[in-house]
Each structure stands twice: as C-alpha cells, then as structure tokens.
Structure 1
Amino acid sequence: MTTTDSAVSPTLAQRWRGARWVVLAIVVIIGVAALTTYLTAPRPGGKMDPTSTSPDGARALMTLLRDQGVEVIEASDVAAVERAARPDTLLVVVQTRHLIADDVLDRLVRAPGDRLIVDPTSRTREKLAARVELDGTIPFGSAEPGCDLRETTRAGGVQLGLSNAYEAVGDLPVTRCYEGALVRYFDGRREITVVGTSAFMANSGLLKQGNAALAMNLAGSKPRMIWYAPQRSEGESSGGATIVDLIPAQVIWIFWQLCLVVVLLALWRGRRMGPLVAEQLPVVVRASETIEGRGRLYRSRRAADRAADALRTAALQRMLPRLGLSHNAAPPTVVQTVAERCGLHPQTVAYTLFGPPPTTDGDLVNLARELDNIERQVAAS
C-alpha cells in the first residue's frame, strides 16, 4: 500500500509546476492594476503646479505642449532654471501663492533666453519686466486681441477673467493685446512678454473660448521651454512689504478714504461732553419717579402684557398675606378666597387676577383700576 500510494501521489515539485502559472497570472494582474491606478489617479498640487491635475494645476498644458513636440523642463527651483537656461529657451515664470525672494529674482534676471512673466507681483515685474507698469485691471468677460501678435491673432477671442493691465514706462514701444492684459516688448535681443493672469493657463481654464490656443502659443513659442512656478518659499526675502505686494494700489486709497469718512462721522454724530457735575451719593430717587420711568419704558416698547403681569404680581404679593395664603397658593384657591372676602363673582376675580393680557392702553388702565379696587376691599375686610 505504501509503495503504490507514493507512486501515485503528486510530489511538491509537481504541485509547484501546476500552480506557478496561476501565481504568475495573479502577480501580473496586480501589477497592471497598480500601474493603471498610478497613471490615472488624480494628482493634487498647488497653483500652476506642472504635475497637478487639480483645477488650479497646469498638468494639461504641459501634456499639450509635449504632444506638440515642445521640450518642457519643469524647474522646481531656481538652480534647475540656471542649469537648463540657454539663449534659445523660453523661461516661463508663473507667480504662485509663494512669493519669490529678491535674491532668486536677481538670479532669474541673469538667466539667458526669452521670458514669459505670468501674473507677477510688483516686485517680480520690476525685476523681470522693468519696462512696463501697472495700468489698472480689466473685468471678467470675453476679450479680443486688438493687436497683430501672431500668438494672439491665431487664438482670437479668449476669456481671461479678472486680470491686471499694463502699459509702457516712458516712450518704449510696447505691443498691448487684450486691453493691456498681455504686453510684449524687446530688451535688446530678448523678447519679454507679460500676462496679467494665469487662470487661462490652468487646467480649468483651458476649456474656455480660445484659452488653450493662447496658452500653447505663448508657452510653446520656442522649441524648448522652462516652466518655473515655485510651490514653496525659496531664497532669503528682503523683509519688504510682502503682503502689500499682493494688495492693489486702489485698495490702499479706499482704506484711507474709509478712515476719513469714519472720523468725519464720529465728529458729526458724537456728543459734546460738558464739564463734570458734582453730585452727592447715594442719590435718593422717589418711588413715583421709578414707577413713572418703568411705565414709560413699557409704553415705548408697547409691552402691555409685561406691564399687566407686573401689576397683577405686585397686587397678589400685597394681598396674599392679608388673605392668609402663601405665595405658592394655587390660582383657584386665591380666586375663591378673594371672591368670598370681597363679595364678587369668582369669574370676575379670575379674569382680573389671572386673565389674558390687555391689548390696548385703555384696557391696561381699566385693569389697574380693577386691581386697585380689589386690593382696597381685601384690605378693608
């Protein structure tokens, strides 16, 4: 039996040869699924991050440029820009939430090649595009080129959204497109282009009218492009007005105007305080003045219900000790006792002491009289 069973039973090697193809198939399936998930999964990132697929990212533009044969270099820091910069290269500097320090800007100025400056702050513009200055803003809506640049005439009308506008400093010849949202001039042999917004280059903005064509024409004007959109602070800041750089000049004037309005309003509405009046304390206030003051307060607020409740509560507090009742006595007991003392109908007493609140001033006066009448009869009984 032992010899026959050992000859017929499969060995470990035979089992492995039969199962290895199954194990190999499972490994291949898992690998393909992991690779597909990695390639298709959304990639979050910051504003104009070239690897981000979020609405504010720039992954779609990078893909379109590479499909058109443009060599795209994604520079994560200024050192990468310096290594890749050449005279035949377009350097794209995109202002993100992180400000670019002065020493980094100085290194970018020395980088060779043409420049495309997107949504710059005042410091960035003064360093990298010193021949143009801010000229207000343009509102939301479609905009036509209004110039003869090849990049803009091919793109036609676009939807840039809210954008800064620029104009030339002095008499320098500058080409202005889209009402000044895009300007271009030559600094020697170098071509410098400034755009007042980056929204049309983002993943969510490429689908709008003409935006993809304009973004590709501007960023793909050279066979080789360096994309520098800092996602973290870099370099040593000079400690200047970093927050003020983000605030438009018009906001500062509006702020000071509002301060002036507040001061004038305070002078107009403020009371002129006279000298202090010496008064001996404590001050004796007559009870009639207190009652009159509370009555006027109730009347000014039309609080007849609160006034009636105060009158009924005060009358009961004065009558209950005379009736031999505690302050926690039930309303039916109080009504029955008062009716017997005063010789009134219980329903009349109940309506006066515990009835609904009056609706008019006349009803409130009548209630006060009835309460006073009942209180006098209880005191005289």
Structure 2
Amino acid sequence: MTATVPATLRRGRTWRWVALGIVLIVLLAAITTWLTAPRDGGLLDPDATGPDGAHALVALLRDQGVDVEVASTASEAARLSGPNTLLLVGQTYNLWEEDLLTTLADASGDLLLINPSARTREALAPKLEYAPQTSLTGEPDCDLREAQQAGTVWFSSTYAFEGDDGVEVTSCYGGALVRYRDGGRTVTAVGTTDFVTNSTLLREGNAALAMNLAGSHPRLIWYAPQEMEGDHTGSAHITDLIPDRFNWIVLQLCLAVLLVALWQGRRLGPLVSERLPVVVRASETVEGRGRLYRSHRARDQAAAALRTATLQRLLPRLGLAANADPSAVVAAVTQNLAQRGGDSDPLSVQHTLFGPAPATDDDLVHLAHALDDIERQVAHS
C-alpha cells in the first residue's frame, strides 16, 4: 500500500528549497561584493585597489613568480634586503626623516626609487641631481633593456635626473628614468609614479616597464610607508620640497619682492588738520538732495528719509528707545497731542509716521507738512 504525501506538505517543502536557494544567492553575492570591492589606501600602497594604489602591479609580479615582500618599516626593509634582491622605495608623505633614509641607505642589494623627493634622492642616490625637463616623447631613446622592451610609455608629469660630473648614467625617456652603478649596487630612479599605480598601469607600455624594472630580481622588497615612523617632530623644512636648481630662483624672487615693496612703500607722516576749501550751508545740501530725489522720482525714498529723521528726533522726547515698536510710538504721540488739544486721531498719526509712500509730489509735500506739525507740537509740549 502506497502512502500519498499531502499537497500542502509538498508545497511547503518546495518553498523551503526556494527560500534556501535565495539565501545562498544573496550570501554568494555579498561575499563576491566584499571580495571585489575597492580597498582604499595611500599612494603606492600594495594592498590598495584605488587609483593611487599599486595592488595590480604587485599581483602581476607575484603571478610571474616574483617573491614580493612588503616592509612596513625602514628597519624591516633593510633587514629583508640582501644579495640578489631589489629594494623598491616609493616616495610617500611619510618618508622624510633622516634616520629612515640613513637606514635605507645602509641596506644591501639593488635599489629602485619611485618619484624620490630631494631629501630622498640626496640620501639614497647622492650621485644624481635634478635636470631641466626638455621634452618627454614617451620613447625610450636609450639602450636599457627594460626600457627597450617596454617601448612607448605614458607619463602625465615627471622629474628628470642627470648624473654628477664623472658619473656614467644611462638615461631614458628624457631623463625620467636613469640608472647607474654605485659600488656593488645598481641604482635606478624614476621621476614619476604613473607607471606603477592602478589608474595608469595599463596606459601605453607602463605595465611592461613596471614589470621589467620591479621584476628584474627574483625577490622584491616593497617599501612605501603608509604611516609615520619614529619621532614625528623631526626637522623637516619646506626647503626640502624645492629641487636644488630652484633654490637660486626662489631666492631671486624673494629679493625682487622685497625691492618692489621698498620701492612702492610710503612712510606715513603725522596727522594734520586741513580746512575745508568750501563751506556749504545746510539749506543748500537739503535743496540739492531734494532735487536729486525729484529728478529720479524717488518719492518713496524721500518719504522714508523724512519719516526716519522725524522719528529720530521724536523718540528721545517721548522717552522711547530707537527700536521701539510702531504701535508704541503711535500711542505715545497720540497721548502727547491729546494733552495739547491737537489732532490725536491714532489712524491719522499711524498714516503720517508709518503709512505708505506718497503717490504724487503734492502728497509728498503734504506729508512733510504733517510730519513738521507733529514734531513741532511734541517739541513744545
């Protein structure tokens, strides 16, 4: 005898499987999103997938069998360096203290400098100096194997280098890439970060150049400090950011500004009193302002000026503050006029002191007379 499963039970089992499938899909999507989401980081951060990070290059190097070790401190980078290793030093905002640069200078192995500052270049590549950038065509124009294999590259901006007198330097890309031998160490310097960051790695031959330079040794020590090390109160100066060849230019500019300031400066003498060349009577001033109001048909401004002047003289006599409420002013004026037997209609006083602007010139004249009457009666109270 065969038992039959109720339809309600079958539908319940189906919905449980559908719900389980939806949960698995959502969980898989969440995990995929988390794994593929961009990871923020600083400049040349090997773990950052943002535009300024270098995660893509590090991943490519490891796929090609290069042993990439990330050093978080200068002492760790020096300890990991050794024969048949390449120490990559990426210039960041956290690399400027002399102690760190001295530690890196004493490390063994070859050296690859990425966009070094003036202080970093002086400590790690003392036989190089900045050179004026003439042109940057993107072609290697040199015999360096790594550059020849990469071909044309794309640099948005770059420093150029040249060697001191007597130093044999291989120069590529208009001096943006140079290499020379310093004792038993090969020093390579590149004046830009464009060929290693995630955002520009795929432009032209940038990826090939980065792979050829950073992957030239089986072991790569990556040092691009993302945090401050040691004493944070070091003796860094703004002059460390100025290339050597520009020091004289900055000095000449400062001298020129000082000379211009001395030339244009004026000595302030003592204050002296001067008599006015012309004395203008008050009546002429009032008449001139009235003519200006009339020529521009500015009856509203003229009425506002008359009312403001009247209130400024009335309020102290009535014992009211300058910011008194209009209703309080009307009440005080009405009471004062009533005591003298004058026109004490509150509506008339309200219209005169705070009413609309006159429509005609005759209305303006009548308003002036009304204001004068109110002020005269209050003044004689």
Q: Return the TM-score normalized by structure 2.
A: 0.67
Could you tell me which residue of structure 2 aligns to residue 82 of structure 1? 78
Unaligned runs of 5+ in 1: 1-18, 299-303, 340-381
The answer to whether the 8 Å contact 2:66/2:217 transfers is yes
What is aligned with 1:9? none
- 1:290–1:97: structure 2 CA closer, same or farther, 3 Å change rule? farther
Letter in 2 for 1:95: Q
| 8 Å contact from structure 1 (residues 81, 226) kept in 2 | yes
Mark the CA change 1:289 to 1:117 in structure 2 (over 3 Å): closer, same or farther: farther
Tell me, in whole angstroms, the C-alpha distance in 1 between the residues paired with 2:53 and 2:264.
52
What is the Cα deviation at residue 192 of structure 1?
0.8
1:228 aligns with 2:223: yes
Among 194, 213, 217, which residue is 1:218 paired with? 213
Give CA-to-partner distance per residue, 1:22-47, whole Å, 9 cap, x none.
99988876765454334312111110
Aligned residue number for residue 196 of structure 2: 201
**Could you say what secondary structure the match of 1:287 adopts?**
coil
Given the alignment of the two structures, is residue 110 of structure 1 paired with residue 110 of structure 2, yes or no?
no
C-alpha distance in 2 between matches for 1:61 and 1:241: 31
1:286 corresponds to which of 279, 302, 310: 279
Percent same amino acid among aligned pairs? 50
Cα 1:307–1:265 shift into 2, 3 Å: farther
Within 5 Å, which residues of 2 pair with 1:31-46? 32-33=28-29, 35-46=31-42
- CA separation of 1:337/1:178 partners in 2, compared to 1, >3 Å: closer, same or farther? closer
Deviating more after overlay: 239-248 vs 159-168: 239-248
* 1:313 counterpart residue number: 302
Rounded Cα–Cα distance in structure 1 between residues aligned with 2:283 and 2:194: 68
State how far apart, in whole Å, the 2-side matches of 1:338 and 1:85 are.
98
Q: Which amino acid aligns with 1:39?
A: L
Which residue number in structure 2 is paired with residue 191 of structure 1? 186
Number of equivalenced pairs: 311
* Counterpart check, 1:170 vs 2:170: no
Report the equivalent of 1:131.
Answer: 127
Pick closer, same or farther for the CA change 1:109–1:330 going to 2, 3 Å: closer
Q: Cα deviations across residues 58-117 of structure 1 (Å, max 9, x unaligned)? A: 011011111211111112222432342221111100001222422222221222211101
1:335 paired with 2:365, answer no
Residues 44-123 of structure 1 aligned to structure 2 (within 5 Å):
44-123=40-119
Aligned match of 1:150? 145
Q: 2:155 aligns with which of 149, 157, 160?
A: 160
**Alpha carbons of structure 1 residues 138 and 40: separation in structure 2 relative to 1, 3 Å:** farther
Alignment check: 8 A CA contact 2:87 2:111 kept: yes
Label 1:286 to 1:170 Cα distance change in 2 as closer, same or farther (>3 A).
same
User: What RMSD in Å do the two structures reach over aligned CA positions?
Assistant: 4.4
Q: Provide the C-alpha distance between the structure 2 equivalents of 1:76 and 1:286, rounded to a whole number of angstroms.
A: 81
Q: Hey, what's the Cα distance between the residues in 1 that align with 2:33 and 2:181? A: 46
Q: In structure 2, what is the Cα distance between the partners aligned to 1:21 and 1:152?
A: 59
Deviation per CA, 1:249-270: give whole Å up to 9, x if none: 5665555555455445555555
Separation in 2 of the partners of 1:102 and 1:337? 82
Structure 2 segments unaligned to the other structure (5+ residues): 1-14, 311-342, 367-381
Q: Secondary structure at the match of 2:231?
A: coil
Give how far 1:143 is off: 2.0
1:243 aligns with 2:270: no
Residues 278/37 of structure 1: CA separation in 2 closer, same or farther (3 Å cut): closer
Correspondence for 2:374 = none
- 1:120 alignment partner, SS class: coil
